[in-house]
Structure 1
């Protein structure tokens, strides 16, 4: 008796795949997104000393820095524009969902259907910007404290914040294009 996977594999053919134009376009779109993300993990944040950053992450490879770098696909180790990834969005989503079960006004929004869901999604986006701002500010301060900024000061911090928050917002926008 053949398993379900074997039966499905027997029914698949390249001819059938050739006729599925929507599936092909979705696969190509997903591959395009992957390529854009990988390129974005190599575009550095302006003003960061890449040599000192690399030395720091070489020393921290076995610790928390190495694990953080692994989760971002190496973007943190290169301090790329996508260093924050989608973590601020995930955190904001969790916070909003928890608040929706505790705050009566958000509970009412949850019960409104599609319009309530759209409003909760908007709150999640605002929370994403808020969290990304503070995470980017924290990274800018940490980079300055470790001497990894070419020209420390408010201009450097502002540049890091705008770049990292913009990268996170771009990733969030790409994610919304998939659905």
Structure 2
């Protein structure tokens, strides 16, 4: 991997793209330290240092608490998920997606519009929550409106930054920003582990070493999931066109083990944390009890979390993969799976394969999500990492390496990974 970056740095065009991506992240991190208008700086510094109200989704998608980038790319992520589901559910959007580049541009425009609307709603809720925590100096309507507009503007600016990073940088800009959000929390996690080891003597050192080994093993496991795929062989029949014979070659359909990716875990986290989110707006004893029981560190909450991951893995996969459409496209192009008849038997075979892979994938996701929680139960301290963040970090890192490798292949006609 390091050889890829070394060789990429020697190419002027790729070096510019890398520097541009780094510049985008630097601008984003700077905005994540600018407080909202009307914020009480003393209370704000205390909340930032304590990490209060810092949920996993906020860590993935947003900036610092009480800053203009607090919501970050979060509304855009939610909007993208909604549009993905609507594209499957609404025939007009599905047809638009099949229209090529123009259709995708229209869908992207709709995604931005929905993201701005969601940012306005989420911004109002965020200001309400910050006001309840007493972070504003003057709790009046003008302060709340200015803070809400600042949050919405910050989200729009981050969306623009991510699109610039996609166009001029390496890989997907949104993923790169999320990647930087997660890595920004690494120093504080390392400091917590160091403090724990220093304050608990030999036991603390042993626990810290165990966590470090578990962290390395989970990274290797996450990489295995990211690269794992089932290749369904496809044979294309020969056909005569004029005096030329075409077809007859063999290929395969790659179906990944992690079809749902981290979406299943993100959906599960969102539902499990819903009572706590509502409790922030409408405090009540019932919601407080529900939030306590559904916390992922509670046995009941952990079981609900696991069940939701499994359910959402199958749910998202059913939208992402269409076996009937795949079988029809294969039949139109004269392709068939050896030993399987074209048409419905092919679609049934693909469907069974996808279901088996979804079962295996959901088991992997559950293991990645629950192991850090089990460590917290057994050791009595936060592991400092989670399965979702590991999946995202490894996925984005692998994608960046693949992008650099493809760029190098285009210029030198050979790879540098070997």
Give the TM-score taking structure 2 as reference length: 0.37
Match of 1:157 in 2: 144
Contact 1:132 1:165 in 2 (8 A): yes
Aligned 8 A contact 1:82 1:168 in 2: yes
- Equivalent position to 1:32, from 23, 31, 38: 23
* In 2: Cα distance, 1:112 partner to 1:69 partner: 35
Residues 44 and 80 of structure 1 are in contact (CA less than 8 Å); yes or no, is this contact kept in structure 2? yes
Q: Which residue of 1 aligns with 2:54?
A: 65
Match of 1:111 in 2: 98
Partner of 2:36 in structure 1? 45
Runs of 4+ in structure 1 over 3 Å off: 11-14, 53-61, 66-74
Q: Deviations over 1:73-127 (max 9, x none)?
A: 8611xx1111111011000000011001001211121121111101100010001
Q: Please point out which of 114, 122, 127 is paired with 2:114.
A: 127
Q: Does 1:141 align with 2:132?
A: no
Gaps spanning 5+ residues in structure 1: where? none
Alpha carbons of structure 1 residues 73 and 85: separation in structure 2 relative to 1, 3 Å: closer
Query: Greater relative contact order (Cα 8 A, min sep 6): structure 1 or 2?
Result: 1
Residues 171/85 of structure 1: CA separation in 2 closer, same or farther (3 Å cut): same
Shift of 1:167: 0.9
Contact 1:48 1:148 in 2 (8 A): yes
Q: Is the Cα contact below 8 Å between 1:44 and 1:81 reproduced in 2? A: yes
* Residue segments in structure 2 that go unaligned for 5+ positions in a row: 167-418
Give the alignment of 1:94-109 within 5 angstroms.
94-109=81-96
Q: Which has the higher strand share?
A: 2
> What does the per-residue CA deviation read over 1:34-73, in whole Å, with 9 as the maximum and x for residues that have no partner?
1111111111111011322344466664xx5365664468
Specify the SS of the correspondent of 1:175: helix
The match for 2:79 is: 92
Higher helix share: 1
TM-score (norm 1): 0.81
Pair 66,12 (structure 1): closer, same or farther in 2 beyond 3 Å: closer
Q: Contact 1:41 / 1:83 at 8 angstroms: preserved in 2?
A: yes
Whole-angstrom CA distance in 1 between matches of 2:116 and 2:5: 44
Structure ID, larger Rg: 2
Q: C-alpha distance in 2, partners of 1:115/1:174?
A: 22
**Could you list the per-position Cα deviations for residues 155-177 of structure 1 after superposition, in whole angstroms to 9, with x for gaps in the alignment?**
11111111111111111101111
**In the alignment, is the contact (CA less than 8 A) between 1:60 and 1:66 conserved in 2?**
no
Aligned 8 A contact 2:38 2:137 in 1: yes
Give, in whole Å, the separation in 1 of the partners of 2:5 and 2:60.
34
Number of corresponding residues = 166
